[in-house]
Structure 1
Amino acid sequence: MTEASIDDLRGIGPVTRSRLEDIGIRTLDDLRSTGSVEAYRRLKFMLPRQVSLNALYALEAALRACHWLDLPQDVKAALQHQGRIIDEALRRGGVTRCAL
């Protein structure tokens, strides 16, 4: 059985697919193992002005095989909370990868 490509994910357009590939996510299994929030965090830090909360909704919806508008309200609220945490980290300048 072959892994599902991100090309096959519902609600993920060509621009987001390309960006996901840039951060090493090429299959549904890659997205599952990374998780929607971490994938969004990577995208947001890579392109802070071009990646919006809608991308996080789309990533989570793709994992659930539904349209982002059909995500339960509690899931959307949790994603919004995570988005605020990521935005705050971005404003602070993120975290360095190593101690100097």
Structure 2
Amino acid sequence: MAELTTLPNIGKEMEYKLKSIGITTGEDLKKVGSKETFLRLKMKYANICFVHLYCLQGAIDAVAYNNLPINVKRELKEYSDSLKEVF
């Protein structure tokens, strides 16, 4: 089981927030996926922004969030924007 803070983009604060929603390992994060994890975080922490979604996907893909492919960033941004109607 990979510790969360060993993943790219995941620091102590993000680890705390992830654990608070039941994501305790890297495997948990991969299983749940970045979008569902982001949604759960957004429901608990209203100030979570779309960059957090990039960070989650980067952690899953084992890359720094700013190195995600443009098409992935675009898809994640569209997902984040779609949640603005709910939040």
With CA pairs under 8 Å and 6+ residues apart, which has the higher RCO, 1 or 2? 2
Structure 1 residues not aligned, in runs of 5+: 91-100
Q: TM-score, normalised by structure 2?
A: 0.95
Q: For residue 22 of structure 2, what is the aligned residue in structure 1?
A: 24
How many residue pairs were aligned?
A: 87
Deviation readout 1:36-95 (Å, 9 max, x if unpaired): 01100111111112x1111100000000100111100000000001101122222xxxxx
Letter in 2 for 1:89: V
The 4+ residue runs of structure 1 with deviation greater than 3 A are none
In structure 2, what residue type is equivalent to 1:26? T
Give the counterpart of 2:50 among 44, 50, 53: 53
The residue correspondences of 1:56-75 to structure 2 (distance < 5 A) are 56-75=53-72
Q: Aligned AA for 2:55? A: A
1:76 pairs with 2:59: no
Identity %: 32
Larger Rg: 1
CA distance in 1, matches of 2:77, 2:5: 26
5+ unaligned residues in a row in structure 2: which ranges? none
Q: Which TM-score applies when normalising by structure 1?
A: 0.83
Q: Give the Cα–Cα distance (whole angstroms) in 2 for the partners of residues 38 and 56 of structure 1.
A: 10
Q: What aligned pairs does 1:85-96 form with structure 2 within 5 A after superposition?
A: 85-90=82-87
